[in-house]
C-alpha cells in the first residue's frame, strides 16, 4: 500500500467502497488526507461504519467543503443515485478521479525515476499486460503489474525499491477518471464497440481510448495496433507529439514476421522460433509485446525464447479438460463479440456456449466465423436476441437457459462426433445477469465440466 503523501491535509470524498475504493481510503489516510466515504449498498455501509470509519451521505455534505471526489470506476455517473452530487463537482470544476490518477500524482510528487507503461484496448489487455510482465521479469527487471487486472490495484504497488517498471492495464472507465496520466509508453491494442451503454456512443468511446496519449510529449512513446478501419482512420485525424510505433494485428500471419512502423522506418522481427501454438493463440499480443520491447530498446534475441514459457490467463482460451474426443475451453473473459472472434479463429468443430448480457451489435459482426460452429447453446437473458442471428446464419442452436444445462447438452452432442471437437465457452456477453463477474462465471464452467467428466469416466469404468 502506497501512502499518498501528496494528498496530505486534503479533504477527499470516496464514493464506492469496492476494491479500488477501500484501497484508496487506506492509501489516503496513510498519507494524511481527511477522508469521508459513501456506498449506495446499505450492507457495505454498515460494515464500513462498524470499523469506525467516516460514513457521510453525499446529500448531507457540501461540495464546497471538499477538495477531491474519488469515484470508483465501476460507478456509472449517468445512472448513479448520487448523480446530482457528482455533477456538482463537475460544475465547480473540482477533481473527479480514480486510483490511477492518485498513483501517477504520487509518483510525480516523490520525483521518482520509474518507467510507467500503460495499456488499453477493447480486447487482449490482460494477456498482453501479463506477457510484457513475464518477459521483463524473465530478463531480471524490477517490474510490477496491476490496474484493471486481477486484484492488484495500483495503490498496492510496492515503492520500497527504485527504478521500477510499472505495467498498468487501463479500462475506458479508468482513463475517463484519470485526466492527467502521461505514460512513458502508452499502448492501444485495438478498438471495437463496447461499453456504449456507459459512454453513450462510439465516438466518445474512441476518444476516451485515445486519451491515454493526450498528455504525452516527444520524450514518450505511443504504440498502436492497427486493428481494422477504426484505429487506422483515427490515427490520421490526430496529432501525436510522442514517438509513434504502429503495427498490424495480423502481421504474424505473413511470413512469420512481426513488422513495426516508426516514423516511416520499418523494423522486422522473425518470430519463427516461437512455439507454433503461441503464434496461433496470441498473434497480436506477441506483436504488441515486441513493440514494447522495441520501445524499451531491449534486444529481441535476449527475450524471444521467453514467449514459450508464458502460461496465458485464466478464463481466456484456457484448456480445462480433455475427455474422449472433446476438449473443453474456458473463454469466460470474452465479454463481447470481438473477444469471442479471437477464440473462434483458434478452433474447429466447435460446440459453442454463449449468452449473458448482450453488448452493442450482439454477435452480428462475427457471422463470417459461424461455419466453424457445429451447434450453439444459449444461456442467460440474451438468448432470444442471439438466437435470431444464429437462425438467420443457419446455425443450429438450443436455448439451455443455464450453464449446467448447456454443458450437459453440448457434451452429449459432442460425444456423438467421430472427429476431435471443442466445447467452447465464449459468451460474447457480459456476465451480470447470472454472475457477479466473468471470473465467477468461468469458475462455474470449470467446476461443472469437472463434474461432468468425472461422472462419465466413472460410468465408463463400471461398464
Query: Would the pLDDT of 278 be above 60?
Result: no
Residue 85 has pLDDT above 50, yes or no: yes
- Would you tell me how many other CB atoms lie within 10 Å of the CB of residue 160? 6
- pLDDT at position 14 over 80: yes
Which residue, chain included where needed, has cell 498496492? Answer: 156
Question: By C-alpha distance, which of 78, 137, 408, 450 is closest to 289?
Answer: 137
> What whole-number distance in Å separates Cα of residue 446 and Cα of residue 125?
23
- Is the model more confident about 134 or about 254? 134
Mean pLDDT of all residues in 351-380: 94
Q: What does the pLDDT average to over 273-294?
A: 77
Residue that has been written with the C-alpha cell 522495441 in this structure: 294
Per-residue pLDDT band for 194 (boundaries 50, 70, 90) equals: low
Distance, in Å, from the CA atom of 452 to the CA atom of 435, rounded to the nearest integer, reads 21
Does 292 have pLDDT greater than 90? yes
433, pLDDT greater than 90: yes
CA gap 70, 90 in Å, rounded? 13
In terms of Cα–Cα distance, which of 209, 216, 16, 220 is closest to 119? Answer: 209
| pLDDT higher than threshold 50 for residue 254 | no
Classify domain 100-309 at the CATH topology level: 3.40.1190
Going by pLDDT thresholds of 50, 70 and 90, the confidence category of residue 201 is confident
Q: Which three cell numbers stand for residue 412?
A: 452429449
**Higher pLDDT, residue 12 or 270:** 12
* Residue 200 confidence (pLDDT): 66
Q: pLDDT band for 277, please (50, 70, 90 cuts).
A: low
The pLDDT of residue 312 is: 80
- Cα gap 131→313, rounded to integer Å: 10
Give how far Cα 111 sits from Cα of 6, 118, 153, 154, 216, Å.
11, 19, 21, 17, 18
Across 104-118, 235-249, 283-297, 338-352, which has the greatest mean pLDDT?
104-118
Which CATH number describes the domain made up of 5-97?
3.40.50.720
Q: According to the model, what pLDDT value does residue 159 have? A: 96
303-317 mean pLDDT = 88
Fold agreement between 100-309 and 318-462: no
Mean pLDDT across the stretch 275-290? 72
Instruction: Decide if pLDDT at 256 tops 80.
Output: no
Residue for grid cell 464500513: 48
pLDDT for residue 106: 98
| pLDDT mean over 156-169 | 96
193-197 mean pLDDT: 62
366-376: average pLDDT:
95
Q: What is the mean pLDDT of residues 5-12?
A: 97
Give the pLDDT band (50/70/90) at residue 280.
low
Average per-residue pLDDT in the chain?
Answer: 90
pLDDT-derived band of residue 53, with 50, 70 and 90 as boundaries? confident
| pLDDT at 122 (0 to 100) | 84
Give the residue, 429 or 201, on which the prediction is more confident: 429
Least confident of 49-53, 84-88, 380-384: 49-53
| Most confident stretch, 64-73, 258-267, 340-349 | 64-73
Average pLDDT over residues 317-333: 92
pLDDT value at 316 more than 80? yes
Q: What is the CATH number of domain 318-462?
A: 3.90.190.20
pLDDT, tens digit (0-9, with 9 covering 90-100), for 206-232: 999 999 999 999 999 999 998 667 888
**Is residue 33 pLDDT above 60, yes or no?**
yes
Mean pLDDT over 17-31 rounds to 93
For the chain, domain boundaries: 5-97, 100-309, 318-462
Question: Which pLDDT does position 275 carry in this prediction?
Answer: 66
Q: Is 412 exposed, middle or buried (0-12, 13-18, 19+ CB in 10 A)?
A: exposed
pLDDT at 151: 66
Is residue 419 within 8 A of residue 325, CB to CB? The reply is yes
Amino acid at each position: 500500500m502506497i501512502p499518498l503523501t501528496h494528498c496530505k491535509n486534503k479533504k477527499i470524498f470516496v464514493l464506492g467502497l469496492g476494491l479500488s475504493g477501500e484501497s484508496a481510503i487506506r492509501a489516503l489516510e496513510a498519507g494524511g488526507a481527511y477522508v469521508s466515504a459513501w456506498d449506495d449498498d446499505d450492507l457495505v455501509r454498515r460494515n464500513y461504519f462498524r470499523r469506525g470509519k467516516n460514513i457521510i451521505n453525499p446529500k448531507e455534505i457540501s461540495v464546497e467543503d471538499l477538495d477531491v471526489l474519488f469515484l470508483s470506476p465501476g460507478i456509472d455517473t449517468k445512472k448513479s443515485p448520487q448523480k446530482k452530487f457528482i455533477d456538482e463537482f463537475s460544475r465547480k470544476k473540482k477533481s473527479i478521479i480514480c486510483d490511477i490518477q492518485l498513483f501517477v500524482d504520487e509518483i510525480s510528487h516523490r520525483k521518482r525515476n520509474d518507467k510507467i507503461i500503460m495499456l488499453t484496448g477493447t480486447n487482449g489487455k490482460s494477456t498482453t499486460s501479463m506477457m510484457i510482465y513475464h518477459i521483463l521479469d524473465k530478463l531480471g527487471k524490477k517490474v510490477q503489474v496491476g490496474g484493471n487486472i486481477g486484484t492488484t490495484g495500483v495503490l498496492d504497488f510496492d515503492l520500497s525499491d527504485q527504478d521500477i517498471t510499472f505495467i498498468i492495464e487501463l479500462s475506458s472507465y479508468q482513463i475517463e477518471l484519470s485526466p492527467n496520466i502521461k505514460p512513458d509508453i502508452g499502448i492501444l491494442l485495438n478498438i471495437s464497440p463496447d461499453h456504449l451503454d456507459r459512454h453513450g456512443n462510439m465516438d466518445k468511446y474512441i476518444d476516451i481510448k485515445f486519451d491515454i496519449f493526450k498528455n504525452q510529449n516527444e520524450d514518450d512513446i505511443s504504440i498502436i495496433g492497427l486493428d481494422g478501419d477504426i484505429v487506422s482512420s483515427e490515427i490520421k485525424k490526430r496529432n501525436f507529439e510522442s514517438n509513434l510505433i504502429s503495427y498490424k494485428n495480423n502481421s504474424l500471419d505473413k511470413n512469420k514476421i512481426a513488422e513495426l512502423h516508426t516514423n516511416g522506418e520499418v523494423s522486422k522481427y522473425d518470430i519463427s522460433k516461437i512455439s507454433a501454438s503461441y503464434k496461433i493463440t496470441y498473434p497480436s499480443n506477441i506483436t504488441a509485446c515486441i513493440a514494447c520491447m522495441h520501445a524499451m530498446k531491449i534486444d529481441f534475441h535476449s527475450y524471444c525464447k521467453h514467449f514459450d514459457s508464458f502460461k496465458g490467463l485464466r478464463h481466456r482460451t484456457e484448456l480445462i479438460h480433455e475427455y474422449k474426443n472433446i476438449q473443453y475451453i474456458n473463454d469466460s473473459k470474452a465479454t463481447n463479440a470481438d473477444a469471442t472472434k479471437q477464440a473462434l479463429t483458434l478452433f474447429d468443430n466447435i460446440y459453442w456456449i454463449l449468452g449473458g448480457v448482450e453488448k452493442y451489435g450482439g454477435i452480428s459482426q462475427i457471422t463470417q466465423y459461424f461455419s466453424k460452429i457445429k451447434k450453439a447453446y444459449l444461456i442467460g437473458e440474451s438468448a432470444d436476441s442471439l438466437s435470431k442471428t444464429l437462425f438467420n446464419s443457419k446455425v443450429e442452436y438450443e436455448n439451455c437457459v443455464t450453464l449446467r444445462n448447456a454443458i450437459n447438452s453440448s457434451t452429449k452432442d459432442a460425444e456423438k462426433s467421430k472427429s476431435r471437437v471443442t466445447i467452447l465457452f465464449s459468451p460474447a456477453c457480459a456476465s451480470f445477469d447470472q454472475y457477479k463477474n466473468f471470473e465467477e462465471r468461468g469458475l462455474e464452467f470449470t467446476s461443472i465440466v469437472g463434474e461432468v467428466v468425472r461422472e462419465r469416466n466413472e460410468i465408463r469404468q463400471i461398464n
